[in-house]
Amino acid sequence: MRSATSPLTIATPRTLDDALSMLRDTPLVPIAGATDLYVGLNFGTLASQHFMDLTRIDALRGIDVRDETLVIGAGTTFTALMQSVTVQTRLPMLVQASSQVGGVQIQNRGTLGGNIANGSPAGDSLPVLAASDAILVLRSASDERRVPFTSFYTGYRTSVLRADELIVAVEVPSVVGTQWFRKVGTRAAQAISKLVIAAVRSDAPRIAIGSVAATTIRLPRTEAALASGASIDDAVNTLEAEITPIDDVRSSADYRRQVAGNLLRRFWADTA
Amino acid sequence: MRFTLNDNPVDVSAPPMKRLLDVLREECGLTGTKEGCGEGECGACTVLVDGIAVVSCLVPFAQVDGSSVKTIEGLGDNHALQHHFMNEAGAQCGICTPGMIMVASTLPTDASLEEIRVALAGNLCRCTGYEAIYRAIQKANEQAAQ
Amino acid sequence: MPAVGTSVARKDGIGKATGATKYADDITFPGMLHGRTIRSTIPCGRIKNIRLDFDTTGFTVVDYRDIPASGRNVVALIEDDQPFLVETDIRHLAEPILLLAHENREALLNANVVIEYEEQPPELDLEHSATVLKALAIDKGNVDAGFASADVIVEGTYRTGHQEHVYIETNGIIADPENGGIAVHGSIQCPFYVQKALKSLLGKDAYTRVVQTETGGGFGGKEEYPSMIAGHATLLALKSGRPVKIIYDRTEDMVATTKRHPSIVRHRTGVTRDGTLVAMDVDIILDGGAYITLSPVVLSRGGIHAAGPYRCENTRIRGKAMFTNTPPNGAFRGFGAPQTLFAVEAHMDRVAEAVGMDPVAFREHNALVPGDTTATGQVLTGDTSALEVLREAVRRSDFLRKRAEYTGTNKGIGLALFYHGSGFTGSGELRLASKAKLELTKTGVRILVSSTEIGQGTRTMHAQIVADTLDMPYELVEVAQPDTQRVPDSGPTVASRTCMVVGRILQRCAEEMKEKLGVLTPAEYFAKYGALEILKEHEPPAWIQWNEDTYSGDAYATYAWGCDVAEVEIDRDTYEVRPLKITAVQEFGTAIHPGLARGQIEGGTAQGLGYALLERVVMSNGGMSNATLTNYTIPTTLDTPEMDIAILDNPYEDGPFGAKGLGELPIDGPAPAVINAIRHLAIDVREIPATPEIILSACALR
């Protein structure tokens, strides 16, 4: 460790109500799988001293279908997502994404809600949520609201989530069409995305992409081009104008732009 | 904080946000669990919490309250995986070995080579190219299946 | 039953597999403090002011003025240019300036030191640098005449990047005041190098003792830098009067310690229509970093291997190691040869193409055979196996059929032929005068050498050699932990020398001991005559002639040989190249322990594949900016392909049981084999790591 852990505190609520009351009264950073916690502390990107453990709250776990909507508890681990027959059937692209998060140890601990709250533009599950028009259920001690995933982020690692709110569940309406997912990482496993795409082929194609902008984004203009029957070349041109990749230690803007276009073609060919 | 450590109930006093890795090594004196990176990338610090493989460098101590933790020391010194890691030279420098063995101990004995490779993708080894590790695990599985 | 040639259980296997083995960070001394190094945050400049912005109660604070008057502020190595602690001038990022120790690690982490600098413009570009740390020239025949006789001349420039060792155990040292001096325990490859550095720090009369703790990987990365850390821990321990432990975290280890030298190698090669090499002109530039450290010898090995395992009567090799304001680059498995062998093997595929030959036929035509001379004029003897490894690799991999089958697909296949000199260069082994010792125990015998077990199997392999020489069961041979108070100086654990050189001394010790024992068991001998110790010194083969000034003669006592075939597949959407299979055929005399030898080949091959495809050190402002295991990506299980390993036998007469050096050879081949496989995909890449971004650029240029 590069930073001291003994001054840090952690509250351990057993119920969701307790957790929400604590959040109402005190600023606490919720943690679940904690897979990004110490990295954030070590590199100074996480300044908080006070945390709240969500892993004791059963209500945050579970996978269910209600009125044709897939409801996933925010505390569901990637391993649980991969093992769920319901998810395998309804949202296979989420299984694919989950299987490419870190290694087995990270999949065993990391949660869907944590991936969302952490807000990295490279988050592996996030394009799936964007492409599937997922709704996030945010709850505080006083109210509950539903926010479309695509409206959740306001910028690089910032979101509409209030300090007194928790992401309690993700609701995924039935996805019509063929699901497609591809992660391009820095190596074959245990990798951070250089680019990650989830897409759905239907009359109204949906394409979401990570690591090419400050947040995971949908590509409405590219989608519209494809929906209107534009050529794939035109759609690729539109995509290139719609993303804003950067150079970083993992890849280059040129690479991300070129590969994003190539993968759009691949998606379109694979799902034809 | 009370939890079960290698099948024995223990009560350990340590700051709640201390990493499980540090608690095991410093408070419990179990140094078989190694730190390779401190960011969950190398798997050297893998232990089992309630039977599930986790990297102990990313687990706050508070989260194991009431849980069962198993470390390499909990496998004793006569486990088939240990023998075959020795005999197949699956251990070279040895620093990744405890973590490798802990993950391997969660695998079914009929695991295919591909399943072994996927399961170990979160454990880095710089000495072996992984081949001797696969051989060790496969030999141990063959022995267990008999 | 003989132990040599069988895969006996590793001496250290069970301790490692049960977690019982103690590494540096597992060891605690009573009253121990933790140490921390405060480092420069600029690559070039002067220190104007240092302010301790914390309550110093309970802290030990050390700067260069704490170095005793009897000692010097230099980490003694080849040249005395690198300080333990900066006095005023900063030459690179992460250079040690100040040391802190405290019994509470968190207090140490919280201590804030503010350093004001006067920054100066750094030199970060090795091609632009005007300062040569070391130059080298190797000449054979008449290159100009050779080019005049050539039908075709092929030129090319090849580049390699830094490579980080990524031993999974980071650097760690504990210094413990002892006998009025210091005992140092730590993760090190070379105990006597550390002792030499401590003698420089404290004065030659100071008591210094160095003990190797179990070491979690080295690969050259714990050859020279541990001397620096040992000096730091020593200064803190002596000032505080208490044991001090310094363990680097991963980021500090990656940012501050050595890496493989980046290189630029230019080739100009003359060849006749029938594919005969008639002139080779090679120009090597290495990035040495901010201090000389080991760069001269890295350049030397790189230069000697630069013409590849080929016969060419007219060869000119020039090399330079350049100064840059970056952390010094240093020893890394292969030691200069992986860079120059990458260049020559990538180049040879282009030369073959230029004369319309396939890569196998071209190499068969030019490969060194017994009686040929190398670039330094060394006449090769019977254990020269270039053709044998080439033919076996081609056969096993079904190279020619696959080469035809893959053409025009997303698969490619390529090969590389390579060799690696065993032991120190030239008269190096003579100068080292390494020693090894055997002592009789009540039940068997104990080996005393300074050769360290760093994972490669030193203990096991030495014990096998001694056991068989003495006709004694392997289990009765013990191996002492290297401790400079107890073991003789067997030379450093580097340069693929631990088996061939130190193993041979041990074999001679055992031969003499066997004679002394006669028919007696160790217990009987003890009862009758008491203790028995046998110490011997290395005797390099008498025929070795080496001229350090002209760089000519017998560069190495012998060479190990290898041929790797890489099969790869490209994803044309993402430009990712994935290795599908590696066939590695290697000859290193006799394998003492086939299992460990195979482990060396498999591990070195994986490390070489990382070098070829994945491992990119991103430098910014003179330092590594991706210094985490997340962002510096070594191969995982899923990045490492199926390997077909074959070990050819060709005993070397001066090695123990015929053994030569093996440790480094396996890392020489994968990178050029992969690049040649990528070339087979019709993608012309001449640099490594060949990341998808590089492949994209190469595709865009077509």
**Per residue of chain A (272 residues), what is the pLDDT tens digit?**
888 999 999 999 999 999 999 999 999 999 999 999 999 999 888 889 999 999 999 999 999 999 999 999 999 999 999 999 999 999 999 999 999 999 999 999 999 999 999 999 999 999 999 999 999 999 999 999 999 999 999 999 999 999 999 999 999 999 999 999 999 999 999 999 999 999 999 999 999 999 999 999 999 999 999 999 999 999 999 999 999 999 999 999 999 999 999 999 999 999 99
What is the rounded CA–CA span in Å between residue A170 and residue A126?
11
Name residue, tokens 């004679």: C515
**Closest by Cα among A11, A25, A135, A127 to A72:** A135
Residue B1 amino acid letter: M
Most distant CA atoms of chain B, gap in Å? 45
Sign of the dihedral defined by the CA atoms of residues C692, C696, C697, C698, in that order: positive
- pLDDT for position A3: 87
Find the DSSP H helices in C139-278.
143-148, 191-202, 225-240, 250-256
| Mean pLDDT taken over chain C | 97
Any residues with CB less than 8 A from the CB of C507 and at least 6 apart, and which? C465, C466, C469, C656, C657
Minimum Cα–Cα distance from A182: chain C residue = C574
- pLDDT for position C445: 97
What is the rounded CA–CA span in Å between residue B95 and residue B92?
8
| pLDDT tens over chain B, length 146 residues | 999 999 999 999 999 999 999 999 999 999 999 999 999 999 999 999 999 999 999 999 999 999 999 999 999 999 999 999 999 999 999 999 999 999 999 999 999 999 999 999 999 999 999 999 999 999 999 998 88
Cα of B15 to nearest chain C Cα, Å: 12
What is the rounded CA–CA span in Å between residue C212 and residue C375?
38
What is the rounded CA–CA span in Å between residue C666 and residue A259?
34
Contact C7, C595 (CB under 8 A): yes
Identify all chain A residues contacting B62, using CB atoms and an 8 Å cutoff: 10, 12, 53
What is the rounded CA–CA span in Å between residue A68 and residue A57?
25
Name residue, tokens 């890295």: C298
CB pairs under 8 A between B and C: 176
Task: Measure CB to CB from residue A10 to each of B38, B53, B60 and give the nearest one.
Answer: B60
- pLDDT for position C702: 62
What is the rounded CA–CA span in Å between residue A118 and residue A101?
14
Cα of B55 to nearest chain C Cα, Å: 14
What is the rounded CA–CA span in Å between residue C51 and residue C98?
11
Q: What are phi and psi of A91, to 5 degrees?
A: -140, 60
What is the rounded CA–CA span in Å between residue C81 and residue C532?
43
What is the rounded CA–CA span in Å between residue C609 and residue C637?
12
- Give C60's strand partners: C101
- pLDDT for position B31: 98
Any residues with CB less than 8 A from the CB of C92 and at least 6 apart, and which? C40, C43, C44, C289, C290, C325, C326, C327, C328, C622, C623
Minimum Cα–Cα distance from B66: chain A residue = A56
Cα of C225 to nearest chain A Cα, Å: 21
What is the rounded CA–CA span in Å between residue A209 and residue A189?
19
Q: Which two tokens stand for residue C188?
A: 């090190």
What is the rounded CA–CA span in Å between residue C184 and residue C177?
9
pTM above 0.90, yes or no: yes
- pLDDT for position A47: 86
**Closest by Cα among C3, C17, C23 to C460:** C3
Minimum Cα–Cα distance from B100: chain C residue = C17
Using CB atoms, list chains with 3+ pairs below 8 Å to chain B: A, C
Cα of B23 to nearest chain A Cα, Å: 12
Find the DSSP H helices in C188-330.
191-202, 225-240, 250-256, 295-304
Exposed, middle or buried, A234 (CB in 10 Å: 0-12/13-18/19+)?
middle
Cα distance between the two ends of chain B: 41
Decide if the complex's ipTM is over 0.90.
Answer: yes
Name residue, tokens 């990506």: C633
Identify all chain C residues contacting B34, using CB atoms and an 8 Å cutoff: 23, 25, 168-169, 216
Cα distance between the two ends of chain A: 50
Minimum Cα–Cα distance from A105: chain B residue = B54
- pLDDT for position C701: 72
**Closest by Cα among C504, C538, C541 to C658:** C504
Minimum Cα–Cα distance from B33: chain C residue = C19
- 10-residue mean pLDDT series, chain C (702 residues): 94 97 98 98 98 98 98 93 97 98 96 98 97 98 98 98 98 98 98 97 97 98 98 98 98 98 98 98 98 97 98 98 98 98 98 98 98 97 96 98 98 98 94 97 96 98 98 97 98 97 98 97 93 97 94 97 98 98 98 98 98 98 97 98 98 97 98 98 98 95 67
Any residues with CB less than 8 A from the CB of C521 and at least 6 apart, and which? none
What is the rounded CA–CA span in Å between residue C660 and residue C639?
30
CB contact under 8 A, B86 and C17: yes
Identify all chain A residues contacting C692, using CB atoms and an 8 Å cutoff: 184, 194, 251, 255, 259
Contact C66, C100 (CB under 8 A): no
Cis, peptide link before residue B15, omega less than 30° from 0: no
Any residues with CB less than 8 A from the CB of A171 and at least 6 apart, and which? A69, A70, A71, A72, A134, A135, A136, A137, A146
Give all strands (DSSP E) within C147-215, no chain letters. Answer: 152-160, 172-178, 181-186, 208-212
- Report helix, strand and coil shares of chain C as percent, to nearest 5: 30, 25, 45
What is the rounded CA–CA span in Å between residue C477 and residue C687?
47
- Give A145's strand partners: A138
- Chain B contact residues (CB < 8 Å to A): 15-19, 22, 38-41, 43, 46, 52-55, 57-60, 62-63, 65, 103, 118-124
Contact C185, C194 (CB under 8 A): no
CB pairs under 8 A between A and C: 66
Interface of A with B in 51-90 (CB under 8 A): 51, 53, 55, 79
Using CB atoms, list chains with 3+ pairs below 8 Å to chain C: A, B
Minimum Cα–Cα distance from A3: chain C residue = C109
Sign of the dihedral defined by the CA atoms of residues A44, A47, A51, A54, in that order: negative
Task: Measure CB to CB from residue B17 to each of A8, A33, A108 and give the nearest one.
Answer: A8
Task: Measure CB to CB from residue A108 to each of B54, B57, B120 and give the nearest one.
Answer: B54
- pLDDT for position A67: 95
Q: Which two tokens stand for residue A126?
A: 């996030």
- pLDDT for position A44: 85
- pLDDT for position C643: 98
SS (H, E, C) chain A: CCCCCCCCEEECCCCHHHHHHHHHHCCCEEECCCCCHHHHHHCCCCCCCEEEECCCCHHHCCEEEECCEEEEECCCEHHHHHHCHHHHHHCHHHHHHHHCCCCHHHHHHCEHHHHHHHCCCCCCCHHHHHHCCCEEEEECCCCEEEEEHHHCEEECCEECCCCCCEEEEEEEECCCCEEEEEEEECCCCCCCEEEEEEEEECCCCEEEEECCCCCCEECHHHHHHHHCCCCHHHHHHHHHHHCCCCCCCCCCHHHHHHHHHHHHHHHHHHCC
pLDDT tens for B63-81 read 999 999 999 999 999 999 9
Local structure of C246: helix, strand or coil? strand
Identify all chain A residues contacting B104, using CB atoms and an 8 Å cutoff: none
Contact B126, C634 (CB under 8 A): yes
Substitution target in C636, C638, C667 with the highest count of B β-carbons within 10 Å is C636
What is the rounded CA–CA span in Å between residue C123 and residue C126?
8
Q: Which two tokens stand for residue C179?
A: 């006998």
Cα of B1 to nearest chain C Cα, Å: 21
**Closest by Cα among C22, C167, A108 to B25:** C22
Q: What are phi and psi of B98, to 5 degrees?
A: -55, -40
Substitution target in C11, C12, C18, C453 with the highest count of B β-carbons within 10 Å is C18
